[in-house]
Each structure stands twice: as C-alpha cells, then as structure tokens.
C-alpha cells in the first residue's frame, strides 16, 4: 500500500497541493485527471521526491518516503516525466541503463533477456541503434516507458505517457501499462488528459481540482455530475459495450443532433 497522508506542497510561498490523502494498492492503475494547474504533475513529483513536500507523509511498506533519501527510494519508484530531455543515446543505451541499477556496468543474461522481451512487446525493433534525438516524440515516449518498466519498480509514475502518440499507439500503450500493472503488481499512477481513455483503462480515478482531491473513485462509479464539477462544464457520459463515451460542453437542443444518450452499465 502506498499511503499519502495530509500532503501539502508549497514552493516560494505558493501552494501547489494541499490536504492530499490517498491509499493506493498494488495491481491498480490509478489515473489522475483534472483541469490545467490542478497539481497533477506536482503530485507525481512529490511522490518521486523530485520536489520537496511542505507538510504530510508519503509511506510505502513502512518506509517513510518523506524522510528517506532519494537513493534509498529509487529502487521502489520509476518515474517517466512529461517532457524527456533529449540526449546522445541510442534506444539500446536507454534500455540498458535502466537495468544498471540492479546489475551495475556489466549486465547479466537475465537483464539482456528482459531487454529483448521488452523490445518485442513495445515494437522497438526498427530503431534500436538510432539516436533517440532523431526519433519522433511518440517513439521516444515508448522507449522511456519501456525503460521505466524495465526498472521493475513497485510504484510506476507516468506523466502523460500517451501525449505524443496517435490513437492506435495510445491504445497499445495503455493496454501494455494495464497489463504490466497487473502482472508485476505495480502501483501505477498516471496523468491522462484523454478522459475516455482514463475511464476505460483506470481502476481508480483521482480527480484533482484547485490543488485538492475532489473525488477518488472506482472508474465505474464516475458520474456526469462529478466530471461537470471537475471541469466546470456540462457533461454527457454513457457506456456502450464496456466503452465510455464522453462529451464535454455538449448539448442537443436542435434538430441537427436529434439523438439521445443512454448510460448502460458494463464491466470493463
């Protein structure tokens, strides 16, 4: 269990998060949604100890992350930033570096096997020896996600991992994230802006607004009223064969759009 208690983040007298309380379980894919400036990325950075917290506690397996050193918690956490800095590395370099915190400079057979399997799962075969600076934003996203999973973390933190991907690759990536979360008992926390993907793939939804948690709910319990309150706009939500369809700021008061919305309950 990852437990966050009364978390406050303040930088230069500016409150970035306040009164954050969460208990997150292994095998759960937790998706953070909310308007711009709500504190979504800040929450991930606070858990990863990239930024210091002002007040509160973050703990995992009786380890107090708020007092422990970054080095001591690094073996538990893999963090994928929203904007990755380019560097003079090939795809293979990035994947190998992700295993070196376990095996040091010389990788073992197990490490190479893991890397080979990851290359296949993420379809990275076509640009293994290419410098990542020459790749598209979406291709780099896939590489950095693969590298994060190769670190075998207990807690996987992903800040907009599908932001540069086309729809087909978005689905493939989210399927992989969900699969790896279940298989490896990850506590996965990811920020997404695509609300339909968030509702469809998440086990739990964290709704952040004005630097506080507005709701923390099972994805199937999310309602139109909750989303409308989160984004200050009208909302229509309905389910078809286990897939959510969401419309924000959307109404049907004319003859051009003469159809109805009906919510159906289906398991994802």
Q: Which residue has the tokens 């923390």?
A: 216
Distance CA 118, CA 147 (A): 9
- Exposed/middle/buried for residue 196 (C-beta within 10 Å: 0-12, 13-18, 19+): middle
Q: Which residue has the tokens 């924000």?
A: 248
Average pLDDT (83-104) is: 81
Examine the pLDDT at 258 and tell me if it is beyond 60: no
Average pLDDT (64-76) is: 87
Kindly report the pTM of this predicted structure. Answer: 0.88
pLDDT of residue 83: 63
pLDDT of residue 169: 86
pLDDT of residue 265: 52
Report whether 31 contacts 205 (CB < 8 A): yes
pLDDT of residue 241: 82
Report whether 158 contacts 80 (CB < 8 A): yes
Residue 244 vs residue 44, higher pLDDT: 44
Domain boundaries, the chain: 88-151
* Range of weakest confidence among 25-29, 83-87, 154-158, 225-229: 83-87
pLDDT of residue 32: 98
């Amino acid at each position: 269990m990852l437990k966050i208690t009364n978390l406050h983040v303040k930088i230069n007298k500016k409150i970035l998060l306040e009164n954050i309380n969460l208990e997150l379980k292994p095998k759960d894919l937790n998706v953070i949604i909310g308007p711009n400036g709500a504190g979504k990325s800040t929450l991930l950075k606070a858990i990863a100890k990239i930024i210091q917290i002002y007040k509160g506690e973050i703990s995992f397996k009786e380890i107090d992350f708020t007092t422990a050193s970054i080095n001591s918690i690094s073996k538990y956490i893999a963090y994928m930033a929203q904007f990755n800095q380019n560097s003079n590395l090939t795809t293979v370099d990035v994947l190998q570096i992700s295993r070196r915190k376990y095996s040091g400079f010389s990788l073992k057979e197990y490490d190479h096997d893991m890397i080979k399997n990851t290359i296949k799962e993420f379809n990275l075969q076509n640009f293994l020896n290419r410098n990542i600076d020459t790749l598209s934003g979406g291709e780099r996203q896939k590489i950095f996600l693969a590298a994060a999973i190769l670190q075998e973390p207990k807690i996987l933190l992903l800040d907009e991992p599908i932001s540069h991907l086309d729809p087909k690759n978005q689905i493939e990536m989210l399927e992989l994230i969900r699969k790896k979360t279940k298989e490896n008992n990850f506590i996965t926390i990811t920020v997404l802006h695509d609300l339909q993907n968030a509702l469809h793939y998440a086990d739990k939804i964290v709704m952040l607004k004005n630097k506080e948690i507005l709701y923390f709910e099972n994805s199937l319990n999310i309602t139109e009223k909750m989303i409308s309150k989160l984004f200050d706009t009208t909302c229509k939500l309905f389910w078809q064969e286990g897939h959510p369809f969401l419309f924000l700021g959307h109404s049907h008061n004319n003859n051009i759009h003469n159809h109805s919305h009906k919510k159906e309950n289906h398991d994802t």
